[in-house]
Structure 1
Amino acid sequence: MKAKTLAALAATTALAALGSAAAAQQYTIGITQNNVGVDSYQTTYEQAFIAAAEANDDVQVVVLDAGGDVARQIAQIEDLIQQQVDAMIIWPTNGEAVIPAVRKAFQEDIPVVITNSNIAEQGFDFIRSFSGPDNITQGQRAAEIMCDRFTEMGIEDEAQIVQISGQPGYTTAIERAQGFEERLPEVCPNVTLVETQPGDWNREKSQQVMEAFLVKYDDIDGVYSGDDNMGVGALNAARAADRAGDIVFVGATNFAVGYEAMEAGDYWGSIYQSPVDDAEAALQTALDILNGEDVPFLNYFDTPKITQDNMGEFTKPVF
Structure 2
Amino acid sequence: MKRIILVLLIISMASFSAFSNNQAESDQVKVGLLLSTLDNPFFVEMKEGVEAAAIISGYTLIVLDSQNDPAKELGNMEDLITQGVDVILINPTDSDAVGNAIKMANRQSIPVITLDRGASEGKVATHIASDNVAGGYMAGEFIIELLGGTGKVVELEGIAGTSAARDRGKGFNDAISTSSIEVVARQVADFDRTKGLNVMENIIQAQSEIDAVFAHNDEMALGALKAIEGSGRDIIVVGFDANPDAVRSVSEGGMAATVAQKPYDIGYMGIEAAKKILNSEMLDAYIPVDLQLIKQ
The aligned counterpart of 1:107 is 107
The aligned counterpart of 1:196 is 186
Residues 139 and 259 in structure 2, CA contact (< 8 A), matched pair in contact too: yes
2:237 aligned counterpart, secondary structure? strand
2:37 matches 1:49: no
Q: Distance in 2 between matches of 1:128 and 1:52?
A: 19
Q: CA deviation at 1:200?
A: 1.4
The aligned counterpart of 1:6 is none
Given candidates 285, 290, 293, the residue that maps to 2:273 is: 285
Residues 53 and 60 in structure 1, CA contact (< 8 A), matched pair in contact too: yes
Q: Distance in 2 between matches of 1:43 and 1:306?
A: 20
The aligned counterpart of 1:311 is none
The aligned counterpart of 1:78 is 78
Q: Distance in 2 between matches of 1:175 and 1:115?
A: 14
Query: What is the count of residue pairs matched by the alignment?
Result: 279
2:136 matches 1:139: yes
Q: Distance in 2 between matches of 1:24 and 1:100?
A: 29
The aligned counterpart of 1:305 is 293
Could you tell me the TM-score, scaled by structure 1's length? Answer: 0.82
The aligned counterpart of 1:267 is 255
2:61 matches 1:61: yes
Given candidates 175, 182, 192, the residue that maps to 2:174 is: 182
Q: How is 1:246-265 mapped onto 2 (pairs within 5 angstroms)?
A: 246-265=234-253
Structure 2 unaligned residues grouped into runs of 5+: 1-12
Q: Distance in 2 between matches of 1:64 and 1:287?
A: 20
The aligned counterpart of 1:295 is 283
Given candidates 144, 163, 172, the residue that maps to 1:171 is: 163
Amino acid at match of 1:142: A
The aligned counterpart of 1:235 is 225
Residues 132 and 281 in structure 1, CA contact (< 8 A), matched pair in contact too: no
Amino acid at match of 1:258: A
Residues 46 and 263 in structure 2, CA contact (< 8 A), matched pair in contact too: yes
Residues 168 and 216 in structure 2, CA contact (< 8 A), matched pair in contact too: yes
- The structure with the largest strand share of the pair is 2
2:38 matches 1:36: yes
Amino acid at match of 1:224: F
The aligned counterpart of 1:27 is 29
Q: Distance in 2 between matches of 1:49 and 1:287?
A: 12
2:94 aligned counterpart, secondary structure? coil
1:220 aligned counterpart, secondary structure? coil
Q: CA deviation at 1:216?
A: 0.6
Q: CA deviation at 1:22?
A: 5.0
Q: CA deviation at 1:143?
A: 0.8
1:279 aligned counterpart, secondary structure? helix
Q: What do you get for the CA RMSD once the two structures are aligned?
A: 2.2
Q: Distance in 1 between matches of 2:60 and 2:249?
A: 39
Residues 132 and 282 in structure 1, CA contact (< 8 A), matched pair in contact too: no
Residues 128 and 266 in structure 2, CA contact (< 8 A), matched pair in contact too: yes
Q: CA deviation at 1:264?
A: 2.1
Q: CA deviation at 1:201?
A: 1.5
Structure 1 stretches (4+) deviating beyond 6 angstroms?
Answer: none
Q: Distance in 1 between matches of 2:88 and 2:291?
A: 25
2:83 matches 1:119: no
How big is each residue's C-alpha offset from its partner over 1:5-63, in whole Å with a ceiling of 9 and x where there is no partner? xxxxxx9xx99xx79x95996311111110112x2112222233223322322x11111
Structure 1 unaligned residues grouped into runs of 5+: 1-10, 309-319
Q: CA deviation at 1:107?
A: 2.3
2:177 aligned counterpart, secondary structure? helix
Could you tell me the TM-score, scaled by structure 2's length? Answer: 0.88
2:127 aligned counterpart, secondary structure? strand
